[in-house]
Structure formats: C-alpha cells, structure tokens
Amino acid sequence: MSTAGDSRAITPPDIRARKGGVPLVCLTAYTTPIARLVDRHCDIVLVGDSVGMVLHGLPSTLGVTLDMMIMHAKAVRGGLEKALMVVDLPFGSYEESPEQAFRNAARLMAETGCAAVKLEGGEAMAATIQFLGARGIPVMAHIGLTPQAVNAFGGYRVQGRGEDAERIRRDAISVAQAGAFSVVLEKVPEQLARRITSEIGIPTIGIGASPACDGQILVSDDMLGLFSPFRPKFVKRYAELGDQAGAATAAYADEVRKRRFPAAEHVFADAPKDADADATGSGGAA
C-alpha cells in the first residue's frame, strides 16, 4: 500500500519513482464494486483485457474491443480515489502504427479518465511507446508472455528460457529506453526477471516472474477464487469466494423451494412500520 494518509491520486511519475522501493501492489478490476474494494490497498488498478475471459466468457483476450474496455474502465473509474488506473489497449487497436495507437489511446483516456494505458510488446512497440509518451500518454509496457500473441506463441507458455532469454531482455531494455513508466513481466523464468529488474531503470511488475520485481499483479478474480475455469501456477488464492457464493446460492434456492424464504421479517404489513422504510439496498427489483 502507498503512503498512509495520502489522499492524492497516484500518478505515473509516482510509480516510476518507486523503482527499488516498497513493492508496488497491483490488481485488476472491471466493475465499480471491485474497484472500491481494491482501491485502498493498491498502487495500480489495471482494467485488463482479461475482462474478456473473466467476465465475458471469451476463450482468449483477442475478442475484446475498445468499446468493451471503455465501458469497463468507466465503471472502474467510479470506484477509485487513490490508485492509478491503467487501461489495456486491446488487440488490433495499436499495432498498425503509432498514429493508430495514439488515436485509440487518446479516446480511451478522454472517455474514461484513466491516467495511463498498457500495451503488449517489446522492441517492436518501442517506437509506439515513444510516440505516445511524446504526446502526453503514459505507457505501461508488457513483455514476456503477451496474451494477445497467444496464437504466435502456440499457447500460454513460459517465455525467455535458454537462448530466448536475450530476446526478453532486449524487449525490457527497449521499452525502458522508449519511455515506458513501468513494465509487466509475465510468465518468465525467475532468474531472468530478477536480472531484468536489476538492469533497467523503471519498475518491473511481475506476474509469474520473481519476488525481486518492483511490484506484483494478479487478476482479482483469480486472487479471490471467483474464476474457476483454469488456475495458472503463478496464482495464489487468498479466498475461495466462488465456493462460498455457490453454497449461498444453493441455500437460497433450497429455502425458496421449501417456502422458508421470504420469512415474516422480509415482507410488509398493511400498516407501515418504522422497519418498512425504503432501505432496499440495490433498489429491490432486479
């Protein structure tokens, strides 16, 4: 968690200045309620294109659109006060040219109020990162396993083993030199992540990388035990809310079928009582 008692929103330069300091805490969020839950504990909240798999049931992130990212980012913005909000540029929205990336990143920032964008790619995206930075758009880079390139990789495989380590290292150096304020290292060998962290001047944020990274990120639904189709090795579950929600739903269904719910305390009398005040929480009807 960032400095206690500091109500000022965190900025990209703040994150960059944290290199080598207290590890950065980062989580994803796609909705206002989750954003409110994680805001007080996180330095960075990422509206990731993982939303496509987590909330929309897509088989990969490739089907996520810019409109989807904008919709979810608007929801997350409403739940944040402190954490830096970073939003993913989805597949196909930035790879064509730096100019295309600028148009879509500018729209994303203007419509959502995010302070930075994230894009995948190393050396190949260095010119784009530099182009965006020169025009006032802070960029978080993402190298190693880049899920938007899953078809090129042949699956969600560890990147940077053996001779391939030098490619990942060059990617890290390139995005740092291009002006990225931080870089996500995903699913790379621990020693490689440790080496990169020591060699570049911007914070590294690990996911399946190394405890030596300058920060860590997980998908909130993985961390909370809400997403169950698969569980990557690098995920630690800090709760099993999916199991709890399933048990609660089963209990509700059982009570409805046995006419145990609603009980007397959940219905209204003919004459109004103090307890009948319109404290309906979410508004009552769905």
Residues recognised as catalytic: 186
Tokens describing residue 72: 């979810």
Closest by CA position to 181, among listed 203, 205, 210: 203
CA distances from 114 to 34, 36, 84, 110, 151 (A): 16, 16, 8, 8, 29
* CA 2 vs CA 8, 24, 28: distances in Å: 11, 8, 17
116 phi, psi to nearest 5 deg? -165, 160
Quick one: DSSP state of residue 195? H
Please classify residue 74 by burial: count the beta carbons closer than 10 Å to its beta carbon, then call 0-12 exposed, 13-18 middle and 19+ buried: middle
Report CA-CA distances (Å) from 154 to 53, 158, 184, 223: 18, 11, 21, 26
Q: How many other β-carbons are positioned within 10 Å of the β-carbon of residue 4?
A: 5
Amino acid in position 207? I
Tokens of 135: 């025009």
- Tell me the H-state helices in the chain: 12-17, 32-39, 51-54, 66-77, 98-112, 126-134, 150-153, 165-178, 190-199, 220-223, 241-257
The answer to whether the CB of 101 falls within 8 A of the CB of 131 is: yes
